[in-house]
């Protein structure tokens, strides 16, 4: 294998020297395609039609075949026109089926997808028996092979992609409005139908220009995966679109690079694999919404609740003995608090480190610091019990469980306002002291 | 030559029956696109199963397919639940990734894998009768026919055993769960069945015909039927009808059989839609006059 490595790195360098005009064209095309499809895909995603791209990509096929049959040329512009027309027909057929018949949206997508594609294959099988020049590469558009693309193909692609990006930039507010709240858009006097049409054309166009590079089956992924990934990083649509463009462009660069280094490798599948990688990283690591940060936050929360529970148990035990400095066995904490021994010792470890609890030869007690915290938690707990009995008229034997939860989230300010509201009570409904209630 | 024609028709009919059964269940649960998703991701299962075992035995193929089908359904659910991503998007990510990896594997091991994406996308049923199984000294018929016969039987048995449970789950999942039906288990069983059905039909008819036969006759039936068993019967009927008419359409034009069958399925759906619209118009007129 090692004899292969230098060739690969040489190829890598040759690619990045960018002195091959063909490479530059393909690279430019894939970057623009990735960016435009990803950006436009956000709008279909937000309309909860994430798989629209899949249906439209398949729906383009009969248009390509018809255009070829009619004009007997493979001129990229003619092909594009055919593809856009039939894909657009597919779009409106989906709309019609969902709005004017009993058929539901998911079925409408699948019907248009399979029927149009079958129609295309039917035509292709007819074309293959005919004596027409240039028919040989027609089936290539099904699977996406950028190596098979001519510079003219890429020119058409690049112009369309730039057109889409500029269109989205200029009509951003309108597109956002009709995507997120159509009725509101209507009341504002936006011509919803016209913008719908423009957006539909942009969607169709961005799907269609990708077919040759990415392939029919995988085109859906280029529309869908970037926005799914970007959503973990932001809720602001402008930032999401920007991230989408970056993700799409990055996938374009990497997949072109890979298919340059291994010429047999199709571009489309690598683009999808790269995008899936980006998605996975976002899913796991994105701050605040990623799985890992969410898990860590959850764990920190659970630990804090456990620690506060241990502090409060020690406080209540000390109160019962009328001796805040009394030492307690771990087992006596477990009799008043339903938690595992393991969790208790883990909690002790953290509490000792934070100087809330001290260990005296296997028995434990609160430090003055911890005692203060215990008093405050208990105060909040009992104030809440008081509030529930006095103001909400809940029986005193039903309020403890709720207070167990509220004590962990109540702030000092809330506690004081509650005390004020209740007329600074000194005891809770069970007749126990409310600590710190003298003032 | 007559036998050849009969085998093709039989294969097409069996495919339409199995696809109609899973199709009705998917369409009613608004999961039509899952048919598309699973039928594409199954390719990965077939490629991996083949690369690992180097065998093309029916059992291994179907097992590989069933497992990928389950993996697709399960991962979709995981993304939906833990990743908080809408369901169709989760599905789209999983199936395109599976398909992409499968295509990459195929191009890495070209020559070793006897599956190519072209045959997967629009398989050629016309060649199916030539790949026959020899038992003892006698030729018992095409391999595809027997695979599909087994799968159709599997589908019918699934329906027979689970009919009332599936019915309850389809129309009211929470009610089904409340009377003790293991909704999750039956759901995954259905996914495995979709995967096996698609995988079995794969080589013969290609993914697209499978998707078409799952979705289109079931929706034609959805427009006409008033009960679950009525819908099943209509769907099977339209499926078989499309197979037969599609076959003759293909013979007339000398076109791809799979594509013609799918096109005919679409034509029947369109006819039913138009007839229904016309009937509504006539009804309205008679009411007003």
d(CA B289, CA A15): 76
Cα B53 to Cα B109: distance, rounded to the nearest angstrom: 14
Residue A400 lies in a domain: no
CATH superfamily, with its number, for domain B14-129+139-213? ABC transporter involved in vitamin B12 uptake, BtuC (1.10.3470.10)
Identify whether residues A187 and A312 lie together within a single domain. no
pLDDT tens digit sequence for A406-437: 999 999 899 999 998 888 888 888 888 888 76
pLDDT tens string A329-369: 999 889 888 889 999 999 999 999 999 999 988 899 999 99
Cβ pair B33:A224 closer than 8 A: no
CA separation for the pair A386, A423 (Å, rounded):
11
Which pLDDT score, from 0 to 100, does residue A322 have? 87
pLDDT at A141 over 80: no
**Are A40 and A175 within one domain?**
yes
Tell which of A316, A345, A366 closes a domain. Answer: A366
Q: Which of residues 80-109 of A touch B (CB under 8 A)?
A: 101-107, 109
Check whether A276 has a pLDDT greater than 90: yes
**Alpha-carbon gap: A225 to the closest alpha carbon of chain B (Å):** 6
Q: CB distance from B86 to chain A under 8 Å?
A: yes
* CATH number of the domain that residue A327 is part of: 1.10.10
Position A410 in a domain: no
Domain residues of chain B, as ranges? 14-129+139-213
For B143-185, write each residue's pLDDT tens digit.
888 888 999 999 999 999 999 999 999 898 889 999 988 988 9
Q: Identify whether residues A116 and A200 lie together within a single domain.
A: yes
Give the Cα separation of A107 and B30 in Å (integer). 7
**pLDDT(A382) > 80:** yes
CATH of the domain at A142: 1.10.3470.10
For residue A435, tell me if it sits in a domain: no
Where is the domain boundary, A332, A366, A400? A366
- Domain count along chain A: 2
The CA distance from A94 to A111, in Å, is: 8
Same domain, A277 and A350: no
CA–CA gap between residue B93 and residue B114 (Å, rounded): 26
Q: Is the model's pLDDT at A99 over the cut of 90?
A: yes
In a domain, A306, yes or no: yes
Name the closest residue on chain A to residue B88, using Cα atoms: A50
A2 pLDDT higher than 50? no
Residue A67 counted as domain residue:
yes
Last residue of a domain, one of A366, A382, A414: A366
3-class DSSP state for residue A316? helix
| Region A317-327 average pLDDT | 88
Minimum mean pLDDT range among A232-246, B45-59, B82-96, B252-266? B45-59
Q: For A3-23, what is the mean pLDDT?
A: 72
| Domain identity same for A95 and A233 | yes
Average pLDDT, chain B: 87
| Cross-chain residue pair A122–B255, CB shorter than 8 Å | yes
Please tell me whether residues A113 and A85 are part of one structural domain: yes
Q: Which of A86, A125, A244 best probes binding to B when mutated, by most B CB atoms within 10 angstroms?
A: A125
Mean pLDDT value of segment A212-237: 92
Residues A200 and A300 in one domain: no
Q: What is the mean pLDDT of chain A?
A: 89
* Cβ–Cβ under 8 Å, residues A408 and A304: yes
> Is A129 contained in some domain?
yes
**Does A320 share its domain with A206?**
no
Residues A247 and A336 occupy one common structural domain: no
Within a domain: A10: no
Interface pTM (ipTM) of the complex? Answer: 0.91
Residues A169 and A224 in one domain: yes
Query: Is A7 inside a domain boundary?
Result: no
Closest chain B C-alpha to A122 CA, distance in angstroms: 5
Q: Are residues A336 and A188 in the same domain?
A: no
Whether residue A235 is found in the same domain as residue A199: yes
Q: For residues A141 and A122, give the distance between their C-alpha atoms in angstroms, rounded to a whole number.
A: 15
The pLDDT of residue A138 is 73
Give the domain extent around A350: 293-366
DSSP lists the bridge partners of residue A360 as A363
């Amino acid at each position: 294998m090692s004899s292969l490595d230098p060739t690969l790195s040489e190829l890598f360098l040759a690619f990045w020297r960018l002195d091959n005009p063909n490479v530059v064209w393909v690279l430019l095309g894939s970057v623009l395609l990735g960016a435009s499809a990803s950006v436009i895909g956000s709008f279909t995603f937000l309309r909860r039609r994430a798989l629209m791209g899949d249906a439209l990509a398949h729906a383009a096929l009969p248009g390509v075949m018809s255009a070829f049959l009619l004009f007997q040329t493979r001129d990229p512009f003619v092909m594009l026109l055919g593809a856009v027309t039939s894909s657009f027909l597919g779009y409106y057929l989906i709309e019609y089926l969902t709005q004017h018949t009993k058929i539901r949206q998911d079925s409408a997508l699948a019907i248009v997808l399979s029927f149009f594609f079958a129609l295309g294959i039917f035509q292709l099988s007819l074309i293959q028996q005919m004596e027409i020049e240039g028919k040989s590469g027609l089936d290539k558009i099904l699977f996406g092979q950028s190596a098979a693309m001519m510079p003219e193909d890429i020119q058409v692609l690049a112009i369309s992609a730039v057109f889409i990006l500029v269109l989205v930039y200029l009509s951003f507010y309108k597109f956002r409005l009709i995507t997120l709240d159509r009725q509101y858009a209507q009341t504002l006097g936006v011509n919803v139908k016209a913008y719908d049409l423009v957006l539909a054309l942009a969607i169709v166009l961005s799907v269609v220009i990708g077919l040759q590079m990415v392939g029919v089956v995988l085109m859906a992924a280029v529309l869908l995966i970037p926005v799914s990934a970007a959503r973990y990083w932001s809720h602001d649509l402008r930032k999401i679109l920007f991230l989408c463009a970056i993700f799409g462009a990055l996938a374009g660069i990497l997949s072109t690079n890979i298919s340059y280094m291994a010429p047999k490798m199709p571009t489309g599948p690598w683009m999808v694999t790269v995008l899936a990688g980006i998605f996975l990283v976002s899913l796991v690591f994105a701050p605040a919404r990623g799985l890992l940060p969410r898990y860590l936050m959850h764990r920190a929360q659970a630990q804090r609740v456990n620690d506060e529970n241990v502090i409060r148990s020690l406080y209540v035990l000390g109160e019962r003995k009328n001796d805040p400095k009394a030492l307690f066995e771990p087992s006596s904490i477990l009799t008043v608090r339903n938690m595992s021994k393991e969790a208790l010792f883990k909690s002790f470890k953290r509490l000792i480190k934070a100087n809330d609890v001290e260990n005296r030869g296997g028995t434990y007690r609160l430090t003055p610091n911890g005692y203060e915290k215990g008093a405050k938690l208990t105060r909040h707990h009992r104030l809440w019990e008081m509030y529930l009995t006095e103001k909400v008229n809940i029986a005193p034997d039903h309020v403890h469980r709720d207070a167990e939860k509220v004590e962990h989230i109540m702030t000092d300010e809330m506690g004081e306002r509650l005390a004020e509201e209740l007329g600074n009570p000194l005891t809770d409904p069970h007749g126990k002291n409310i600590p710190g209630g003298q003032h | 030559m007559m036998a050849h024609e009969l085998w093709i028709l039989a294969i097409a009919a069996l495919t339409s029956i199995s696809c109609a059964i899973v199709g009705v269940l998917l369409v009613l649960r608004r999961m039509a696109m899952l048919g598309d998703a699973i039928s594409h991701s199954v390719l990965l299962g077939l490629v991996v199963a083949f690369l690992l075992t180097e065998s093309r035995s029916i059992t291994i193929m179907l097992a590989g397919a069933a497992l990928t089908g389950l993996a697709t359904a399960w991962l979709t659910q995981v993304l939906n639940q833990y990743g908080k991503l809408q369901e169709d998007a989760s599905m789209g990510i999983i199936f395109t990734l599976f398909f992409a990896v499968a295509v990459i594997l195929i191009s890495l091991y070209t020559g070793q894998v006897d599956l190519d994406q072209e045959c997967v996308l629009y398989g050629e049923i016309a060649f199916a009768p030539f790949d026959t199984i020899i038992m003892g000294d006698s030729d018992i018929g095409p391999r595809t026919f027997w695979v599909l016969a087994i799968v159709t039987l599997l589908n019918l048995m699934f329906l027979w055993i689970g009919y009332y449970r599936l019915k309850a789950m389809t129309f009211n999942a929470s009610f089904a769960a409340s009377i003790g039906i293991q909704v999750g288990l039956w759901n995954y069983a259905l996914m495995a069945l979709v995967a096996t059905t698609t995988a079995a039909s794969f080589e013969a008819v290609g993914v697209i015909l499978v998707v078409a036969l799952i979705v289109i006759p079931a929706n034609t039936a959805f427009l006409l039927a008033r009960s679950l068993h009525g819908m099943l019967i209509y769907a099977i009927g339209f499926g078989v009808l499309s197979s037969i008419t599609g076959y003759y359409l293909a013979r007339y034009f000398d076109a791809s059989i799979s594509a013609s069958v799918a096109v005919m399925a679409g034509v029947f759906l369109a006819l039913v839609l138009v007839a229904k619209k016309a009937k509504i118009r006539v009804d309205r007129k008679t009411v007003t006059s």
